Structure 1
Amino acid sequence: MISPDTLALLIYMSRRALPPLRALQAFEAAARHLSFAKAAAELGVTPGAVSHQIKMLEDWLGEALFHRLTRALRLTEAGEAALPLMTEGFDHLAAATAKMQVRKDDHLLTISVSPGFGSLWLVPRLDRFRRKYPDIEVRLDGTDRLVDIAAGEADVAIRYGMGGYSGVQSDRLFAMRAIPVCSPSVLSLGPSLRSPSDLKDHTLLHVEWKEAEGSWRTWLLAAGATDVDPFKGPRFTKEEMAVRAALVGEGVALIGDRMAADHLASGRLVRPFHAELSTPLVFAYFLLVQKDRRDDPKIASFRNWLLDEAQSFQGTDTPLS
């Protein structure tokens, strides 16, 4: 004798007894187009695969769904009756899936940021944001490519430039000054480094992409160290690589003071010269937000937090060795 629990399970299973989803998709597409070839193009499979899935469905149902004519398809009575409900069902599935995706995306914040700014400044501070907004999941897209935030490639972007970005709200975070930095071991173990002219006996580490506004040549001229070759030493396309080289004692890097601040505060890097020996950089970092999305809760939360972080950060002095 069947127990009530077993009977309930069998009734549930009978209500949910459905043919494979792929077969239903193949039928719905082929029935709309009255063409296996057009259905195949929509589904990204071959016409043979569509035909096979429909044959499986017909076998499962024990009912023909198409009249297969020489150069055409025509729905049977069963096929005609099923098509409107099937299309409506797939529409409901698509809408339900979209709702699930929206719920997921409501809590996912994608930040487009250059690898240098991301690794040297933003990442060390992100834990404070996560603790303040634990329900917001952060995704960092580390790229120098100009992403289209209007098209949804990212929720916000942090970029280095002159400002004046069109079509978006831009908030200036901070500008920087170029400063020489090195590992403490360079001062303790290497040749003397008491004045800028002493750099002639040290390796200069260059950040290639920033040389248009903050090169060693500009800094050395401002410091009066005309006897130092401003072009010697390795060149790096990424700021974080030059910082890494400086950290392991490979030479003296010319870095934006804000990008070096955390390493200076920890003592992993030091400034060999007085604070006045720095050159202002023309560009600044900006936060970019699509204007019609600035009130989105996750975007507004990040924007307010980041502006507060930038403001408090500008109020601190860059440590001097």
Structure 2
Amino acid sequence: MRRKLPPLNALRAFEASGRYSSFTGAAKELLVTQGAVSRHVSSLEDWLGVKLFLRTHRGIELTRKGEAYIRALSVAFDQIDYATREARDQTEGSVLRLKVPPTFAMRWLVPRLTRFQSMHPGIELQVTTSHEPANFRQEDVDVSVHSHPFPPVDSGQHRLFREVLMPVCSPNLLKREPGLRCPKDLARHALLSSRHRPMDWSRWLIEAGITELDSPGSIDFDNAALAYQGAIDDLGVVIAVRALIEDDLRTGRLVAPFDLQVSTPGGYYLACSQVSSKSPQLVAFEEWLVKEAEDYERWVQPATEPFPGGASATR
């Protein structure tokens, strides 16, 4: 039987407009003008003989029939997207696309990837770094890992490991005068941090009993990896996520002047594309990454190991 389908461009314009609740948002995604999106939606409404949107002075709102139609279209588009990925992967090889934060990639993921490659040599990885979580409906991404300051509401995200904050510095800086015998001594050193984690120093200092601290020449870096490197190069003391500096602590590139470690409510979370069903390579990577994180958490718990410096305290 011959299928009776409306124009595909009109369907795409409607589906995108419904997701954004905006012709403008749809136009940006589809790389066309707002007027073109509006015309496509109007032509679809004429073709169907029903109103899909209510036009108001505040924008557009889906009608009841529009809501039902977009739910069905979203499932269909997801299935088309999945089938397209499968067809392309069969042609190009088994490809898995990751989107992760830069510092997590450099200091936690990449050092472990040789283990995954040895287990799954046929899976090709494409790694993109970004501070923004993936939008699976709009990006060609299979796996996303990002830090969240609080547990996300989305139940589809799996916590890999918690965030434990601790100040660290180079061994040279620790030996230098003025010393670092108690947390108040931080006032005489440059404090290094990432602009994407603006609350880390405040969290740790409050737990250390310090509400105000003026330090000379503090430096705010674009990402934490730069801040950690600055600490290694004697620039100052950095507030670090412990999971991302374990290798530096083990090799002695960085040391902890105080034993106080502070757990935040947040952590690093894994999310995977839920388009149709998961591919075998996605399942393999998800299982491997979760296992790596579980092994790390077991190894580091409880976080009470003494470090060079002040009195022992962990929270």
* TM-score interval (norm. to shorter): 0.5 to 0.7
1:264-317, CA deviations, whole angstroms, 9 ceiling, x for partnerless residues? 12211111111xx12222221111112345631110010000000000001123
Residues 144/309 of structure 1: CA separation in 2 closer, same or farther (3 Å cut): same
- Tell me the SS of whatever aligns to 2:166: strand
Same amino acid, percent of matched pairs: 30
Pair 1:174 & 2:147 matched = no
When normalised by structure 2's length, the TM-score is: 0.63
Native 8 Å contact 1:184 1:268 kept in 2: yes
Residues 100/282 of structure 1: CA separation in 2 closer, same or farther (3 Å cut): closer
User: Counterparts in 2 of 1:150-161, with a 5 A limit?
Assistant: 150-151=137-138, 153-161=140-148
Pair 1:283 & 2:266 matched = yes
Candidates 282, 285, 289, aligned match of 1:306: 289
Pair 1:134 & 2:121 matched = yes
Q: Distance in 1 between matches of 2:253 and 2:243?
A: 15
- Tell me the SS of whatever aligns to 1:108: strand
Residues 189/160 of structure 1: CA separation in 2 closer, same or farther (3 Å cut): same
- Tell me the SS of whatever aligns to 1:316: helix
Q: 1:149 deviation in Å? A: 2.1
Q: Which amino acid aligns with 2:294?
A: Q
Q: 1:232 deviation in Å? A: 5.5
Native 8 Å contact 2:174 2:180 kept in 1: yes
Residues 232/119 of structure 1: CA separation in 2 closer, same or farther (3 Å cut): same
Q: 1:198 deviation in Å? A: 1.7
Match of 2:313 in 1: none
Q: Distance in 1 between matches of 2:85 and 2:187?
A: 62
Candidates 274, 279, 289, aligned match of 1:296: 279
Match of 1:194 in 2: 181
Match of 1:256 in 2: 241
Q: 1:188 deviation in Å? A: 2.3
Q: Alignment RMSD, CA only?
A: 2.5
Structure 1: 5+ residue stretches without partners: 1-96
Structure 2: 5+ residue stretches without partners: 1-83, 309-315
Q: Which amino acid aligns with 2:213?
A: V
- Tell me the SS of whatever aligns to 1:209: coil
Q: 1:173 deviation in Å? A: 0.6
Native 8 Å contact 1:208 1:235 kept in 2: yes
- Tell me the SS of whatever aligns to 1:210: coil
Q: 1:244 deviation in Å? A: 1.0
Pair 1:209 & 2:196 matched = yes
Match of 2:88 in 1: 101
Q: Distance in 1 between matches of 2:274 and 2:268?
A: 18
Q: Distance in 2 between matches of 1:203 and 1:125?
A: 32
Q: Distance in 2 between matches of 1:141 and 1:244?
A: 21
Pair 1:234 & 2:224 matched = no
Candidates 135, 145, 148, aligned match of 1:148: 135
- Tell me the SS of whatever aligns to 2:141: coil
Candidates 223, 229, 243, aligned match of 1:244: 229
Q: Which amino acid aligns with 2:222?
A: T
Q: 1:148 deviation in Å? A: 2.5
Native 8 Å contact 2:190 2:215 kept in 1: no
Match of 1:113 in 2: 100
Residues 220/140 of structure 1: CA separation in 2 closer, same or farther (3 Å cut): same
Match of 1:38 in 2: none
Q: Distance in 2 between matches of 1:112 and 1:98?
A: 17
- Tell me the SS of whatever aligns to 2:299: coil
